[in-house]
Structure 1
């Protein structure tokens, strides 16, 4: 088998990130049975792990880049093989060699944008807070209760700016003392790290951490589960420990404390989609549902694959920037499931999921059959 990476170098790199657990794999194939890729095309995590074990990984091919890091295979693995870490290690090898197959070539431009402007779109850093115009959102200053960190997508993407705006309206209505850092903040770095670019991740993380410390940030509110995961679980690698809360958790608190009141009737049948990085990776299942159950007249229905068994939208692991064939998008199946359930709206709590589900809704010609919303967009409609 032809390979670009020497045997020992692959093994060392994979073991560094994945640990000795990679050698525990006894090729049972449970990872393949739960992987969403096998519902749209042939894919074998089992084979990739075997090849990595023997230093035979073909890092020039797209297979090592397909893993969305959804977390389903580690969840079911009887031998505790660290499949996600192993794939990231192989991507680090490929990134070091500058090897990117056609589908992931956009990663080069993304890396440039993150390095120069602090966002994957290479948009002007000075416009990062433009989403907040007209909303009386203040710059964060030391002593404020919360820093709201909306993420790159909610800052720049036209559809997802509505999520940041809905969040700001909720916080203002509840009387929360909060602010934003705008042009002073960078991307959290989660997704670029999952593509194997450790250097760019560390640059972004260190700059963010310095900014947070310089401004006296103690508590960070996020819209993206990917930011949540990184600030909560990965930034502590740099010996910092910020309190991190996802907006679905915080809105649940505001409602329970009586700081936010919902009075308007919603009257819609809603299906809730669990984002991988909020649910499977961080165990946040009850709070989003708790919020939706408090909405007057909202009829909440569970998806066929829910909570720890939730179907990945396909955007994790850096795939949000990759080219995925229309017929291979996991989100197509998710939209179909919601429609079959009779839901009028498919609600979630992740910018990546919204991006995927909106794209599928349009390319599948289901634009009139169902709406895709963030949980904050529902709440802003029924606030007192």
Structure 2
């Protein structure tokens, strides 16, 4: 019998790609998504339509905060594994509407953890973010670094999720893996992300906003690399260590719970201006550049140490950013018929 995976956020960018990958491997997948209008709902609907064409996929539309509906969905589906990707995303939007982040990311995540506890799932995997490293300037970021200085409410809610997940893992012996994503991009991406915004603006003759006058670096992670990492981590459920067990220095495994946090990144950092030039080269068009100051809550650089992912799975993301950009531009032009 195929394993049953409940994924929150399947109409979202990453959830869509993960669901497609798992379905291709014969998993039975049930999606749960709120279809909020944070960005173009038609893009979310199209992703779900594609998934619905695959045998083994079903979905429920609802908000994470709707505990009765979420628990009923879990009860009806009886998952072996839960992958929690749904969230109110976006660093800058958290300055405008912080309550949406508390509702979706804290209350909603609690509801997901309760379902995982009640169903005693084999593994609960939940998305965190590189933003939790906050003001940390010691790079590349390692999972065991302190992450106590988040700079936005978005990052703070994700850090709270990590702490909540640890407590449930300890109390209920619930195998839990948190993964920290690093600037994910690729086909079917979110319109609020830099690559989508840049390509859309260049294609339509609008200027692009370049923050901190371009003096920024990001660890860009191609979406298919990311979901391959998640897929492999499903089979790498943490186990509570024996008392006084020696945990390798590269492992973030908790000494008191079957819980760990894992970076999923390209282990490379790309200068923002080089990223823009790669887009221009791929599109054969020049950008009108609007240089701006650093935005509140932003960080100048991110860079993942992905040693732990490789130690656990034997895998590391390595798609070259130019190849990934080319695949996104091809998707964008086909999707919008330009």
One fold, TM greater than 0.5? no
TM-score by length of 2: 0.28
Give the TM-score taking structure 1 as reference length: 0.25
Structure having the higher Rg:
1
Higher helix share goes to which structure?
1
